Amino acid sequence: MSMFTTRDGSEIYYKDWGSGQPVVFSHGWPLQADSWEAQMFFLASKGYRVIAHDRRGHGRSSQPWDGNDMDHYADDLAELIERLDLKDAVLFGFSTGGGEIARYIGRHGTGRVAKAGLISAVPPLMLKTTANPGGLPLEVFDGIRAGALADRSQLYKDIASGPFFGFNRPGAKVSQGMIDWFWAQGMQAGHKNAYDSIKAFSETDFTEDLKKFDVPTLVVHGDDDQIVPIEAAGLASAKLLRNAKLLVYPGAPHGLTDTHKDRLNADLLAFIQGE
């Protein structure tokens, strides 16, 4: 397997397919690099080098007890990009991964980055605060934590079979395969790592990070996202970014990388090519 060891001793797994301009993918919670496989297969087939890593504590990477926060996630991504000496890279982040690439740019700049994309992403801030009244109450995330401690296997099945893919909507075409795939990826994540990551994705404020974006940025969000509501996420991020292209998918759920993969693949390719 392709692995590297970070400065603090964590081992990070990554996959590296194809050749051409590099496109780097950061995954959502509690998933892993494989969650991007539809987009990676498509873009590698179109002449791009596609790279995705398992975030620390997730998938095939090691499970450190500490360091499960956005600063460490961003620094791990920076080490990967530097180790592979990537230049003119396009960074795409889904959900929690959108926070990861936002914090990466906030901490490390865009010297190696040509473009970026936030897909169903958590920035600028998921948590409801006085300054962010459109966010979700802390009780929502406390409920996820309680579910993880009580029976995280069932929690992942409930998320996947319900709001993540929109399978709880009337008339939805349910895919047991998608549900099983989400569950299988989630169960490979470290229990403590996934637990800590709930705080990382929900309470980290990316407002100042987004203001540092100086590259074209694609924002894709479904208007029926029950996990990361569009009003406090995609729409708010697009307003903060200097050079944003906003695409709203009508009726799309959070997990649109799977449910709307054909449209998303086409939109990502067009964005990379500058159309």
Work out whether strand 89-94 and strand 217-222 pair parallel, antiparallel, or are unpaired. unpaired
Torsion of CA 136, 225, 177, 73, to 10 degrees: -60
Instruction: Choose the catalytic residue: 54, 76, 209, 225.
Output: 225
Q: Single out the catalytic residue among 35, 254, 258, 267.
A: 254
Tokens of 156: 């992942």
Q: Which of 95, 197, 202, 237 is catalytic?
A: 95
Q: Rg (Cα) of the chain, in Å, rounded? A: 17
Residue 95 falls in the annotated catalytic set: yes
Cite the active site residues: 95, 225, 254
